[in-house]
Amino acid sequence: MKTRPISRVVATALATVLAGIGLALPAAGATGATGTPAHGTSHGKALQAGVDAIMRTGTVGVVARSTDPRGSRYATGGVADRATGAAVRPGDRFRIASAGKTFVATVILQLVGEGRLSLDDTVEHWLPGVVSGHGNDGGAITVRQLLQHTSGLFDYTADFPEFASTAGYQADRYRTWTPEQLVAVAMRHAPGFAPGEGWSYSNTNYIVAGMIIQKVTGHTWNEEVTRRLIRPLGLRDTLAPTTDPRIPGRHLRGYSSFEEAGPAIDTTELNASAGGAAGAMISTTADLTRFYRALLGGRLLRPAELTAMRTTVPAPELEPGWPGVRYGLGLMSVPLSCGGVYYSHGGDLPGYTTRNGISGDGLRTVVLNSTGDGSSGDGSSDSSTQQTQNALIDDELCA
């Protein structure tokens, strides 16, 4: 979930929602899983070269998709399953971790656009007493500050054995957590700074945001993301699970050693409640491409809310991974080597890394996922998985 530097609705109701946000249903039989293999064109060969470079940093498997007005290209490398040796396939599902925060922020901003919520509402207004103790004050934190990571709230995953070690993961990976329990972990700690007085990435912010979605709508964040985004966009391979630890269908298996000396373990199965609104979602490169294109293309949010999402502040904590990065509301901006910026939201869980880049108009999109720990390297593009992933995205968007 933390980015490294590092249920069903009746047709009438659905039509109302779509009309309100100006979104058309996909054509019958539409699918995002099509594309051209990387070896087909010079542009495709460049994408495959980028994937091969990521593989050389020690990843187990990689899947990447690049889309522009000319069409979509995909490239793969490595294996989806070490036990069977099955190769990575372009339509494989994977855990998207914190990339799901953009979905959650989009739902919040849709509610803002509907007049049901304000970005200036306080946490205390919607969730009395939930954020309190040890200097935490929900009455001083706004919804905007949650989405922007300027609340100062402690990141619960930093005091969470499930993500700290192999033993902790194996002991608790099937445990069910409530959002209240996750927030309570964070409330054991004092805030890092007064609300609005700093910036620090905290998964707690989005757990609280998910709770606010439920308070406003009467439905869980999972249900609202599914109703408002997954179904209308036809994201058939995207899931917002509650407690199911499995990834259904064809998928990439994750592997991590948790930075310990022992061998990597299979981390594929994880009770989704551990990530909740901060990082429980599952998707594919094709589905994420469709989502980002709709979002940045202005089909999911009204102009005022999309502008708010894209209004960024410095995010110094992420600078080592993305020099010049700034953070908006569930979306970050990253400078391009060819000028301008792209929008993005990475995601990390043990064994899975999601990276993406989207042009400001949504017409050019790159999405990739790699499994395994990869390499932190020495910061150079030849040895660091992070920098090699960034280079692939920049190369594709600047081509």
DSSP secondary structure, 163-185, as one string: GT-HHHHHHHTT----HHHHHHH
370, 92 Cβ separation under 8 angstroms: no
CA dihedral angle for residue 276, residue 279, residue 280, residue 284, rounded to 10 degrees: 160
Residue 71 belongs to what H/E stretch? Answer: strand 71-78
Neighbours of 174 (CB within 10 A): 12
Beta bridge partners, 265, equal: 256
How many CA atoms does the CB half-sphere of 32 hold within 13 Å?
27
Residue 391 belongs to what H/E stretch? Answer: helix 385-398
Which of 66, 72, 98, 344 is an active site residue?
Answer: 98
Task: Indicate if 98 belongs to the active site.
Answer: yes
Q: For helices 101-113 and 303-310, what crossing angle results, to 10°?
A: 140
330, 310 Cβ separation under 8 angstroms: no
C-alpha 60/C-alpha 57 separation (Å) is 9
Q: Exposed, middle or buried: residue 85 (CB in 10 Å: 0-12, 13-18, 19+)?
A: exposed
Neighbours of 346 (CB within 10 A): 27
C-alpha 365/C-alpha 359 separation (Å) is 6
270, 282 Cβ separation under 8 angstroms: no
Beta bridge partners, 128, equal: none
- Which amino acid appears at position 22 of this protein? G
C-alpha 161/C-alpha 173 separation (Å) is 10
196, 145 Cβ separation under 8 angstroms: yes
Q: Which residues are designated catalytic?
A: 98
